[in-house]
Structure 1
Amino acid sequence: MKTGLGPLPVTLVDNVWIPLSDGTRLAAKIWLPEDATSNPVPAIVDYIPYRKRDGTVLEDERMYPYFASHGYASIRIDIRGTGDSEGLFEDEYVKQEQDDAVEAIDWITRQVWCSGSVGMIGISWGGFSALQVAARQPKGLKAIITTCSTDDRYADDAHYMGGCVLNDTLVWGTSCFVRMAQSPDPEIVGEDHWRAMWMKRLENARPALIDWLTHQRRDDFWKHGSVCEDYGAIDCAVFAVGGWADGYSNAIFRLLSKLEGPRRGLIGPWGHKYPHEGVPGPAIGFLQECLRWWDHWLKAKDTGIMQEPMLRSWILDRAEPAAHYEERPGHWVADPSWPSPHVSSRVYRLGAGMLGEQPLPRATLEISSPATVGIAGGEWCAYGLARVGPEMPLDQRWDDGGSLIFDSHPLTEATPILGSPVLELEITCDKPTAILAVRLSDVSPSGEVTRVTYGLLNLSHRDSHENLQPMEARKSYSIRLAMNEIGYAFPPGHRIRLSVSTAYWPIAFPAPQRATLGIYAHASRLHLPVRMPQPGDHELPAFGAAEGSPSMPTTVVKPGNLERFVRMDILRRQVTVTVKCDDGSVRLDPIGTVVGHDKYMFYSVAESDPSTARTEVYERYELGRGTWQTAVEGRTVMTATNSTFHLQIDFGGYANGERIFDRSWSKDIPRDFV
């Protein structure tokens, strides 16, 4: 990435207190053009709980001085009870968090250096915040950029997918309450105050994942903070951004389709990263695109961005299956709206092992997958790709052995798709509920199988995520499953493969019992969203090269290590997937703080017995400088019977190597058809 700044000198204010009406103060870090007090500028706000001083500081330093040097006040705010902000943290996306943001924006618009126009930007939590705060319509908020986020907290977040419990709800749940309980920085909150403030955080810490697992249907708990409940509440301009390797790409298409105000979408090959640092590459000059967006909406400059097509998408070319890609080959396309007039449905019929555009012989098939099917699926969301994390799906032949597969004839021409492939199945099920997992793959002439996209459905959620209906044995059901949105070009000579299984572990926690599905292939259909090349695809100028402001100097104190392996116990017919992510420790040289992070996940299950499934997550964060040496750690273990989830959660805090706080939770949660 090219480093540099714009034409304006920048001033950094390391900490500013934003007062709230209840007396709480939020800690903010601000980058300003030097002359902003005499020449007020628009403000860009990033509002997240990930510690402005020592958590996201490396990413922030590569981004926010860049905006400031081009005439914007860049403001990073720690939400209530996190980082250096006062108060106590409750859970993700609570109403208090939104209330505080509305107050903070009002405060910003009244500062001497602010022109009164505000934008919000964020990735992941920050992207959620931008959407949720936009729905509150605070005065002064004119535009947002939401990256790797969602409009639907139940159907399209780290907790549930198609009504199936994602193991990520345990991984993220452990990280969330441990990370938020870290100590504030004594240099910011005061040497005589930080420890009492930290002890209150430790005593208040509670694993919200207990609530996440308790609310197994799409009830009011999940509707709060889901802007899909009322798209019309968002009246500012929205730029929705993401990547195919990310877990949140579907929201871009819904936002473009459902929002009524000005909107644009951008989706590339990337994982859970901003596009200027995107992996898999190619990374692009995203910050330049942000400036075009901000200049248009916050400075009323005609940058041309709103005359361009609504959606730009990277169409992936075929690549050998691999656990990591530095880059994914492909090309950009442009669509004037979504749904796009350039996309049409191509229907494939199902037969015994076959996909065809013409009628196929009648076939009734059965599948009861081993609980271990899914070990080649990679991660639900590729968070760690910047650390060369082995997170992408492997050769799908590993999982196809426990699945029903349907292959097309070799393609006679390239077949590009853009959107959500939809499978319509006529099925029976011998259990009240089951997981239906479907995968769309590319089969090369030499036999390698690359996953293109996939989808999951808890069959008791087939009609609704709120009003569940158990399956009745020997009764036939029409099922519709929409897979994750994708842009991909199947090459000529390759085959299209549809794979159907009753497990997708460890992405999804297994269903209570091993089920057998009967599939009436002749009554089933696969709908592919085919998008043939258009002349306008090549008329837009290419994105610029990735740029950013210089990084903060750091020193590696302890190198990190990353491992991912699968262990098969032949005698017990049990599989264990182990992921170890030791980030080591790094000193942030300008402030002298050393930060360290260590994490591991163990997933195990016996192939013939889903009730043996066990998930264990451990995470530890360390912070220190001089005599201030702190750490927090947590461990979560989940097991299950046919009727109950059992959670064991342990949490601890350390000061100068001594354990100063302990708490444990043991919780049984009834399974509600999951």
Structure 2
Amino acid sequence: MSGKRPFTIIENEWITLADGTRLAARIWMPENAENDPVPAVFEFLPYRKHDGTCLRDDSTYPEFAAAGIAGVRVDIRGSGESDGIIDGEYTPLELANACELIAWIAAQSWSNGSVGMMGISWGGFNCLQVAALRPPALKAVISIASTVDRYNDDIHYKNGTHLSAQLSWAATMLAYQSRSPDPALVGDRWREMWLERLENEPYFMEEWLTHQRRDAFWKHGSISENFSDVEIPAIVIAGWADGYRNTPLKAVEGLGDKAKALIGPWVHKYPHFAWPKPRADFLGEAIRWWNRWLRGEENGIETMPQVRAYIMDDIRPAPRRDFDNGFWIGKQHWSEPEAANFYVDQFGTLNPGNPIPGAHRHDRYIRSPLDTGTASGEFFTLKPDAEMALDQRGDDAGSMVLETAALEEDVDILGRPVLAVEVACDGDWANLCARLVDVHPDGTATRVSFGVLNLAHRDGYEDPKVLPRNEKTRIRVKLDACGYRFRKGHRIRLSISTAYWPMILPAPTDPGVTLDLASLGLALPKLGAHEKITVKEPDNPNPLPKYLEHTPGTTRRWVTKDMTANRTDYHIHEDTGLSERPGTGLSTRQLREEEWSISPDDPLSMSGQSTWTCDMQRDGWFLRTVSNARLTCTAQEWVTTAELVAYEGETEIFRKTFEKRVPRDFM
């Protein structure tokens, strides 16, 4: 197009590390870069550049290259066509490799010596972690759907509770890493490389389960341990519909003026093709960011507000949310929000104001059915359907519900709500979940935010302690960040439960919790001073390229209750369908079947199973891997098993099993 620089795509470039490992890169190279060197943007992932992330890569890196910015997308060792075996998430080896790759990029004859790093999820995590290591050529980052605290804001644990997503993610990675490199790129070595992966790839769950506290394992890679380690500018992006919604505000609080936050209504996707709409012009903004920090262009992007957020307005849960009403606001400088406080009167109503000191004790006991929470959705969401939180009325039936009278004026909030209350428990610990809900005039209940706490972790996540039996203990539950307008005529509801399944796995016993409602305080973060702004939408409303669809994908979620057996089952079916990337002849398909089961009155009945089938095929060539991961428990142990089976054509060529029993550690 006019005014854009021509570029070429290098489908596979081998980069040899100092230890001899060859990593596979895909590079988008602006024309004439040898004579007119360019900056580069680097992304480092285990998700397969050739047949995994290529769809989104082809919506992004061509635009960068046309703007004179090279794109370098590299597969982590043991992934795609790269040599070796992956050794975990964000390991010292992975981060050291990333630093070595940045130095390699900066030393190329086509490079101007300045490198940016970006990514979503895994790539969003490691670009912040690499920034903290300060490789000299790294000048700026863009981190999407990431975390600064790997223990409390990732897919494993949350405030001392055990996320079911940990099993889902372990099963996913076992499946993803079991796939073969493409013979078209690696040649006859493909089978040897594949068998090496199958034999040696770890089952990540075994390691994660041995770290149930916020220990050194989780502190590694958590830049919140020392924000000052990051000295370069960062844009940190997330969506309210995603599990990583806390990170942008935490980043600006920790990094200060070096960081900019952007939070939209989105699921776990890049903002230029995310749902629900409205989207943001990520590509245009990213190019301005890279031009500012990688080639010194004075374009003023550093003067944009420190926080830009979409304030959701009158949102109705539905089987699919294509567009969320709301408005964009900007805060030039972020600071701790002023709180709008609420207390509970003797009638159980939430009222503006603070709890009254010395008020007569008002004890309420709650012991939720253990299947409370089936409207919770996924921890991280990829589609704007039932992966998102649904109408909360069903979950409210198993909860303690406190709410305001109909609001006399709009209430706008931005930040993290906080619940403080005195609790007592006839057990060593229990889980507590608090949900902030918008109740529409017709009774529809939209979840705005939620927070969970394992009460043994009430004073910190490194050294949990049992509760004093039947003694009042003051606790504080910090709910997730949100931006929302509660409209006049709606009600603000606080729903409190001792279960949030299947998102949160139950404690080994189910004693219930007594709350002193006279002590309860709910603090909502006021929106405060702001300016209404416009966030530009993408010029191209459909930036993702079209692939050849051989069979369509399907998705389905459903809950069954067997009243005779007293069991609730939560089912997930996700089939990508069989699709072919044009020009490669390679077709791929992934099928996920997952089921969680529990008896509403027996926490030890909990079980989860996730099965993945991954197919790769080309004329005359077909590979399949099937991974199955399972988690059960006793009162003393977590029990995890997994099996990996590989087929070449119709022939089984590999089978491996894993089994580990891990003591429960206040969880």
Q: What TM-score comes out, normalization by structure 1 length?
A: 0.96
Contact kept in structure 1, 2:363 and 2:515, CA below 8 Å: yes
Q: Find 1:125's aligned residue among 106, 122, 125.
A: 122
Kindly indicate whether residue 183 of structure 2 is the aligned counterpart of residue 186 of structure 1: yes
Q: How does 1:477-626 map onto structure 2 within 5 Å? A: 477-532=473-528, 534=530, 536-538=531-533, 541-547=534-540, 551-626=544-619
Kindly indicate whether residue 297 of structure 2 is the aligned counterpart of residue 286 of structure 1: no
Q: CA deviation at 1:657?
A: 2.6
Aligned residue for 2:363? 364
Q: Find 2:214's aligned residue among 215, 218, 223.
A: 218
Kindly indicate whether residue 344 of structure 2 is the aligned counterpart of residue 345 of structure 1: no
Q: Find 1:154's aligned residue among 148, 151, 154.
A: 151
**Deviating runs (4+, > 6 A) in structure 1?**
none
Partner-residue secondary structure (3-state), 1:182: coil
Q: 1:6 to 1:579 in 2, by over 3 A?
A: farther
Aligned residue for 2:203? 207
Q: Deviations over 1:43-79 (max 9, x none)?
A: 0011101111111111101110110000101110001
Q: Which amino acid aligns with 1:350?
A: V
Q: Which amino acid aligns with 1:618?
A: T
Give the distance between the partners of 1:544 and 1:245, measured in 2 at CA: 19
Kindly indicate whether residue 25 of structure 2 is the aligned counterpart of residue 28 of structure 1: yes
Aligned residue for 1:137? 134
Q: Deviations over 1:224-248 (max 9, x none)?
A: 1111111111111111011001111
Q: Which amino acid aligns with 2:17?
A: L
Q: How does 1:234-249 map onto structure 2 within 5 Å? A: 234-249=230-245
Contact kept in structure 1, 2:321 and 2:385, CA below 8 Å: no
Give the distance between the partners of 1:86 and 1:261, measured in 2 at CA: 40
Aligned residue for 1:378? 377
Q: CA deviation at 1:549?
A: 9.5
Q: Give aligned pairs, total.
A: 662
Aligned residue for 2:169? 172
Give the distance between the partners of 2:642 and 2:519, measured in 1 at CA: 47
Q: 1:551 to 1:277 in 2, by over 3 A?
A: closer
Give the distance between the partners of 2:292 and 2:429, measured in 1 at CA: 51
Partner-residue secondary structure (3-state), 1:597: strand
Aligned residue for 1:426? 422
Kindly indicate whether residue 635 of structure 2 is the aligned counterpart of residue 635 of structure 1: no
Aligned residue for 1:410? 406
Partner-residue secondary structure (3-state), 2:442: coil
Give the distance between the partners of 1:441 and 1:551, measured in 2 at CA: 34
Kindly indicate whether residue 657 of structure 2 is the aligned counterpart of residue 660 of structure 1: no
Give the distance between the partners of 1:450 and 1:659, measured in 2 at CA: 48
**The 10-residue stretch of structure 1 (141-150 or 621-630) with the greater mean CA deviation from structure 2:** 621-630
Q: Deviations over 1:636-666 (max 9, x none)?
A: 1111111111112111111123211101112
Q: CA deviation at 1:5?
A: 8.4
Partner-residue secondary structure (3-state), 1:296: helix
Q: 1:322 to 1:117 in 2, by over 3 A?
A: same
Q: Which amino acid aligns with 1:655?
A: E
Partner-residue secondary structure (3-state), 1:198: helix
Give the distance between the partners of 1:93 and 1:113, measured in 2 at CA: 29
Q: CA deviation at 1:554?
A: 2.0
Contact kept in structure 2, 1:235 and 1:261, CA below 8 Å: no
Q: Which amino acid aligns with 1:371?
A: L
Aligned residue for 2:306? 310
Give 5+ residue unaligned stretches, structure 1. none
Aligned residue for 1:669? 662
Partner-residue secondary structure (3-state), 1:52: coil
Give the distance between the partners of 1:300 and 1:619, measured in 2 at CA: 46
Give the distance between the partners of 1:5 and 1:579, measured in 2 at CA: 47
Give the distance between the partners of 1:15 and 1:444, measured in 2 at CA: 54
Partner-residue secondary structure (3-state), 1:439: strand
Contact kept in structure 1, 2:78 and 2:85, CA below 8 Å: yes
**The 10-residue stretch of structure 1 (639-648 or 486-495) with the greater mean CA deviation from structure 2:** 639-648
Aligned residue for 1:445? 441
Give the distance between the partners of 1:565 and 1:549, measured in 2 at CA: 30
Give the distance between the partners of 1:260 and 1:448, measured in 2 at CA: 39
Q: CA deviation at 1:38?
A: 1.0
Q: CA deviation at 1:260?
A: 4.5
Q: 1:287 to 1:55 in 2, by over 3 A?
A: same
Give the distance between the partners of 1:640 and 1:407, measured in 2 at CA: 36
Q: Which amino acid aligns with 2:614?
A: Y
Contact kept in structure 2, 1:63 and 1:549, CA below 8 Å: no
Give the distance between the partners of 1:336 and 1:253, measured in 2 at CA: 13
Partner-residue secondary structure (3-state), 1:58: helix
Q: What TM-score comes out, normalization by structure 2 length?
A: 0.97
**The 10-residue stretch of structure 1 (320-329 or 110-119) with the greater mean CA deviation from structure 2:** 320-329
Contact kept in structure 2, 1:41 and 1:73, CA below 8 Å: yes
Partner-residue secondary structure (3-state), 1:523: strand
Kindly indicate whether residue 73 of structure 2 is the aligned counterpart of residue 80 of structure 1: no
Give the distance between the partners of 1:479 and 1:72, measured in 2 at CA: 50
Q: CA deviation at 1:544?
A: 3.7
Identity fraction in percent: 39
Give the distance between the partners of 2:394 and 2:548, measured in 1 at CA: 41
Give the distance between the partners of 1:58 and 1:278, measured in 2 at CA: 14
Contact kept in structure 1, 2:77 and 2:86, CA below 8 Å: yes
Aligned residue for 1:462? 458
Q: Deviations over 1:480-508 (max 9, x none)?
A: 01000000000001110001110000001
Q: CA deviation at 1:324?
A: 2.3
Q: Deviations over 1:156-209 (max 9, x none)?
A: 10000111110000000111122012111112111x211111110110022111
Q: CA deviation at 1:345?
A: 0.5
**The 10-residue stretch of structure 1 (104-113 or 316-325) with the greater mean CA deviation from structure 2:** 316-325
Contact kept in structure 2, 1:244 and 1:267, CA below 8 Å: yes
Give the distance between the partners of 1:371 and 1:5, measured in 2 at CA: 60
Give the distance between the partners of 1:347 and 1:334, measured in 2 at CA: 24
